[in-house]
Chain A
Amino acid sequence: MSWVAFGALLSHWRYKPLQLATLIVGVALATALWSGVQAINAEARASYGRAAAVLEQNQLEQLVAKDGGRISSQTYTKLRRAGWNVSPVIEGDHRFGQTRVRLIGIDPLSMPSEAQAVSVSSASDLVDFVGGPGQLIVSAATAARLKDTTSIPVRIAADLPEGAAFIDIGVADRLLNRNGELSRIVVARSQRPGLEPIEAIAPELALKDAGEQPNVARLTDSFHLNLTAFGFLAFVVGLFIVYSATGLSFEQRRGTFRTFRSLGVSLHALTAMLLVETIFFALLSGAIGVVLGYFVASALLPGVAATLRGLYGASVPGALSLRPEWWLAGLAIALIGTVLSSAQHLWRVWKMPILAAAQHRAWAMASLKGLIGQASIGAILLLTSGLLIVVGKGLYAGFAVLATLLMGTALILPPMLAAVMIMGQKASKHVLIHWFWADTRQQLPGLSLALMALLLALSANIGVGTMVSSFRQTFLGWLDQRLAAEVYVTARDEFEAGTATAMVSGPRDGYPADLEYRRRGVRPADADLWRCRRCNLSRSLAADPWVANDMGCGCQRSRRVDQRAALAGGQSGARGAN
């Protein structure tokens, strides 16, 4: 490779800075969106893994109830007496004031050392942990949230997920009202030989293998796959920009390539220089893209974490950590994407005869061969799509069908247009119309990518629009079916919510519902209205929520309200609506 020639090749970018900016921005944006999404996914998955390792001790085998319920302490005792080295765990959610915390009650004496997420090994630690009121071991963030909400001493430990607390199993049992029932039993790796099988001792228990993917990871798989798919779509769109920018730069430098070769730069050297140039820009833009991706991911992560928490109850920290694997993955995807989007141009330079390089017609002829190849690939992709529709199953097969269908259609579009233009050219009699077809056909190689991108963008737009719309309709239909209650009560705070819940679950002490409600000294939301089904009169509950019972208009009470209020059926009443 000649440095003189390489310098001259690179001088194009100094001469056309806007083109350079387009290329770098294209690769950087494509990489940013892709690596940003990957960073979020990696962070979430790492968080699940960390949580599973720390909170569920999933590096060890565990015993859980086959029916998904709790395990009696007698079963645990039987296992211990049979010689099994096992340790009990009680876990559940508990509120300290307004702060909800997942309590993991462990027995530090029997818990295998490899599953000890927190250190209570020293004597003083152990005494603090199991003695007196016990001790909550939490992350710094959780400790801050628990401040002034509990009398139990709090100790901060590193590497603990947010919203979780380790506590002595006895304290956990008391706080969670479990009466000795266990959530699961951790089985140590080392066991004495010749023990009676667990199935014989506790047939109601099932053995959960070590290292199993945490439930939340399985639950959120499709969510992350969707994120990946959208990230990839954004990446592909970015690559179209890159393809256009590199295509334009190659097109503008055809004359320069010809000059290089006529002045003694071999085809190998020229191709190598173009490849080095492509790799250089890919890495430079990829690095910028990964940095941008970090900021994109940082901005999006709190929202994604909130969505994951809301939908799946998965705890993902709102802050992003720098992971070398996605830095490298980001650079790799930038490199692969740029090389792929430049491959066709490089190939055309490689195949173009030295003397034909600057001739427009020659490029058009070279493009014709390319179109045939493109049509073949498109047809194969469409066939694959059809095959997958018949034999494929599951979400991945669905994505594969969409990908092959979209890419196949996009690839086959330019050859189809070329065929139409050839037919139009042959059929045209008038010289101007003949020129029109011929000239349009000559423009096709340059326009085909834009047409393909337009087709993909339109398809994606229609597809996503239809998907979102049908999802919304289905969801609303589901809500209508499942949540068609007679009364909707809006609670303004937790106390009001608790009171309303107490009301609809019925009086416990034999009070009529209204008296129970009045006893607690609250009324439903002022804006709520009750409508009598028979006389169709609306009454505000603000004045007296239970006056509807005494209206005496003789209309039927709603059975559901009757059931919920635990009042006798058949009495006159009202049907509420808001």
Chain B
Amino acid sequence: MILSLSDIKKSYQTAEGRTPVLGGVSFVLARGESLALTGESGSGKSTVLHLAGGLDKPDSGTILVNGRDITKLDDVGRADFRRTDVGVIFQQFNLIPSLDVRANVSFHAKLARRFDPLWEGELVEALGIDQLLRRYPEQLSGGQQQRVAIGRTLAARPPLVLADEPTGNLDERTADTVLDIMLRLTKSAGIALLLVTHSRRLADRLDRRITLTSGKIAA
């Protein structure tokens, strides 16, 4: 088991008071498994992703990643966890604009001290960005940027990849291509994938699917 969420509750402080977002979410994800997290806007999908990635802390509940309870970690511990145990792919790509594609792809791997030039070479070729290595993010299309972001995450070979609507900004055909690549590479590397998406079509292509409704798992 790579990821286990137990009775996770989370609420946010707003002008109207505390607004509950998650009301006791529990699920598990096995190594190498891919899981789609779907639901309507505001159902708490991204919150689950952020909590699982150690980017935020739950109000209550336990999150085990690789057997470690990340809810008990301090800031430095969570940063260490994010560096070594998890990779996050954002909808907005979040590439570093001042680094070229090659440096962006290798950045996380070098941070995690898992840089492998051979694996990186395979990745960039598989992702179709081997001709773009000298370019900067602003010189790339949305689809190309997303592939660079995927390459950056997979180059670090984290045991768990969290993807927040990674194809949300892409057209259907490019989205299919990107997802194909992601699934192929995560499977080949034994990486677990938790993917947030609105698209039922894309969700159906993953091993499992969970739907969130008003902060709770519907099915």
Chain A contact residues, CB within 8 Å of chain B: 2, 4-5, 8, 11-12, 14-16, 255-256, 258-259, 261-269, 354-355, 358
Contacts and interface: CB of A to CB of B under 8 A. Distances in A.
Contact of B83 (A16, A263, A267): A263
B98 A264 contact: no
Given A263-B83, A264-B80, A267-B75, A2 B111 contact: yes
A255 B79 contact: no
A160 to B, nearest CB: 59
Nearest to A259: B94
Given A262-B53, A268-B75, A15 B111 contact: no
Given A8-B96, A16-B98, A268-B76, A263 B56 contact: no
Contacts of A4: 107, 110-111
Contacts of A355: 50, 55-56
Interface string B90-103: 10101111110001
19 contacts: A4-B107, A8-B98, A8-B107, A11-B99, A14-B98, A15-B98, A15-B136, A256-B98, A259-B94, A259-B96, A261-B79, A262-B55, A263-B82, A263-B107, A264-B83, A265-B83, A266-B79, A267-B75, A355-B55
Given A263-B83, A355-B50, A15 B97 contact: yes
B66 to A, nearest CB: 14
Nearest to B77: A266
B197 interface: no
Interface string B68-96: 00000001100111111000101010111
A14 B99 CA distance: 10
Contacts of B75: 266-268
A266 B75 CA distance: 7
B216 interface: no
Chain B CB within 10 A, most for which of A8, A15, A259, A269: A259
B98 A255 contact: no
Interface on chain A toward B: helix, strand, loop, or mixed SS?
helix
A258 B110 CA distance: 18
Given A264-B79, A264-B111, A267-B79, A354 B55 contact: yes
Chain B CB within 10 A, most for which of A4, A11, A256, A358: A4
Given A264-B84, A354-B55, A256 B79 contact: no
A8 B104 CA distance: 9
Contacts of A2: 111
A204 B97 CA distance: 82
A265 B76 contact: no
Chain B CB within 10 A, most for which of A2, A8, A268: A8
B64 interface: no
Contact of B76 (A8, A255, A266, A354): A266
